[in-house]
Structure 1
Amino acid sequence: MTDQPPFGEPIARRAYSAFADRYAALAPTKPHNGLYERPATMALLGEVRDLHVLDAGCGPGIYSEALAREGATVHGFDITPEMIDLARRRCDGLAATFRTGDLARPLAWLQDGAFDKVVCALALDYMEDLAAVFREFRRVTRPGGILVFSMSHPMADWTNEKIRGDGVYFERARYGLHWTGFGEPHPYVEAYRRPLSETLNALSDAGWTFYRLVEPQPLPEMRQVSERIFDRLSRAPEFICVRARR
């Protein structure tokens, strides 16, 4: 595939370092984020007051800020240093701490059972091996704790010809697209598509108990922002949101 990152460089860091400021500015209110994925993920996460929450792949701290303002103590990490700088600025004065960290590697700086809840929003699509990530999430979560994550809907990926290519639905595949929703120059973002069974089986194999899967509906307010996007997301989902218990 063209435009591949150098060997060993995480694909998320290469992409997001190029437009971190634009992402931080637009994602809080961008329809797909603020009026679609984030409300569904937050609803699954539930009450967080007085709880310790891990924001894994925290980006510019949008979730971390919301969780801290709801009374949680938040620890966030992300592979992209520029995102960590933005998260620290966004959450200045709140009960939230941040550091760089790679989801693809053991979270060695975090103690076993340190968190009541873990949220991982739209970051797992950049991971080749989900089972290893889910095992680490389980290790750092207390017994009875909750994991909530969101990612691309596998059928939305499959029905997109640019993503599907000449591949097979049942096989994991890496693809790349130029994103047009965050201004110019359009960032080239790579990710993995995979069948739904791979995600849910990796979750189960890591010791999590599946609780609920949500295929979000757009909030009614989205119609005023973009009737085109509202109509499309009302017909078919583009993300999945999952809740599991340790």
Structure 2
Amino acid sequence: MTADTAYHGEMGRQFALHATNSAYNAHTDRPAMLELAGDVSSLRVLDLGCGAGHYAAELLRMGAGQVVGVEGSETLLRAAQERLEDKAVLHRHDLEEPLSFLADQSFDLAVMALVYHHIDARGQLLAELRRVLRPGGTLLVSTTHPTGDWNYFGGSYFASERVELPFGDGFALNHWRMTLEQFLQELLGAGFALEKLTEPRATQEARLVDIRRYDKTHQQPHFLAVKLRRP
């Protein structure tokens, strides 16, 4: 993410804490994405927008051979380093820029969890992902649900615009809202093949964390997650 959209300073610290056990991040998006990942035994995994390292830690626990994390926020990268110690390779990098430090066809799996909708240069990023994934490799992407954004922000469902969502103590998350059509066309147009699409709902564990948000995810869509294949 850019310097403007990465979660720096106090916002980053609050997000790292929030993502550890929140109903939405820990008990809705993360379980869905890890289920889509399936068997990761011995795979080389790229975690783009790795945040505080929660996904990387789970992927390693599931048997991934190596995880390489990329994050634009120094605050979140420090949190990831504390969580992962020396178990993953971490890079600070602006995802608006090419992934020139990563070799061609060097990963089996790439994960972008709730990152894609923050990016302006999405076409460039998808082209880079196609480059660094081996043929037959897997790309997992989760994003805010287009219908959920429409319900929250109103206006035209077909709007493509940056919006802000209040977060934490006086902060705001800045991201693109887009239609389902736009989201899928960007991914398919970059040369990826869609294998599975899911609309995650909170797991039972979320009931103990936040029953209101648990109920909301079972009544209206919040996230969208897709599994794609690089031909």
TM-score range, shorter chain: over 0.9
Question: Per-residue displacement from partner, 1:143-178 (whole Å, max 9, x unpaired)?
Answer: 000000111000100111xx33x4x32231011232
Mark the runs of 5 or more structure 1 residues left unpaired by the alignment.
1-8
Amino acid at match of 1:206: A
Tell me which of 39, 43, 47 is aligned to 1:47. Answer: 39
* Aligned residue number for residue 148 of structure 2: 156
Amino acid at match of 1:76: G
Tell me which of 83, 89, 96 is aligned to 2:82. Answer: 89
Counterparts of 1:191 and 1:236 in 2: how far apart (Å)?
20
Equivalent runs, 1:165-180 vs 2, <5 Å = 166=155, 168-179=156-167
Amino acid at match of 2:165: L
Equivalent runs, 1:102-117 vs 2, <5 Å = 102-117=94-109
Counterparts of 1:61 and 1:151 in 2: how far apart (Å)?
18
Counterparts of 1:40 and 1:177 in 2: how far apart (Å)?
22
* Aligned residue number for residue 12 of structure 1: 5
- Tell whether 2:27 aligns with 1:35: yes
- Tell whether 2:22 aligns with 1:22: no
* TM-superposed deviation, 1:65: 1.1
* TM-superposed deviation, 1:112: 0.6
User: Contact conserved, 1:49 with 1:71, CA < 8 A, in 2?
Assistant: yes
* Aligned residue number for residue 3 of structure 1: none
Counterparts of 1:112 and 1:154 in 2: how far apart (Å)?
32
SS at match of 2:125: helix
User: Contact conserved, 2:21 with 2:209, CA < 8 A, in 1?
Assistant: no
* Aligned residue number for residue 201 of structure 1: 185
Moved beyond 4 Å, runs of 4+: none
User: Contact conserved, 1:11 with 1:191, CA < 8 A, in 2?
Assistant: no
SS at match of 1:27: helix
* Aligned residue number for residue 209 of structure 2: 225
* TM-superposed deviation, 1:130: 2.4
* TM-superposed deviation, 1:108: 0.4
Amino acid at match of 1:70: M
* TM-superposed deviation, 1:82: 1.4
Amino acid at match of 1:65: A
Amino acid at match of 2:159: E
Counterparts of 1:71 and 1:21 in 2: how far apart (Å)?
28
SS at match of 2:10: coil
Mark the runs of 5 or more structure 2 residues left unpaired by the alignment.
none
SS at match of 1:82: helix
Counterparts of 1:75 and 1:240 in 2: how far apart (Å)?
24
Tell me which of 161, 166, 171 is aligned to 1:187. Answer: 171
User: Contact conserved, 2:108 with 2:134, CA < 8 A, in 1?
Assistant: yes
| TM-score of the pair, normalised by structure 1 | 0.88
User: Contact conserved, 2:199 with 2:225, CA < 8 A, in 1?
Assistant: yes
Amino acid at match of 1:10: A
| TM-score of the pair, normalised by structure 2 | 0.93
SS at match of 1:111: coil
* TM-superposed deviation, 1:102: 1.8
Query: How many percent of aligned residue pairs carry the same amino acid?
Result: 33
Considering only aligned residues, what root-mean-square deviation do their CA atoms show, in Å? 1.5
Counterparts of 1:115 and 1:81 in 2: how far apart (Å)?
24
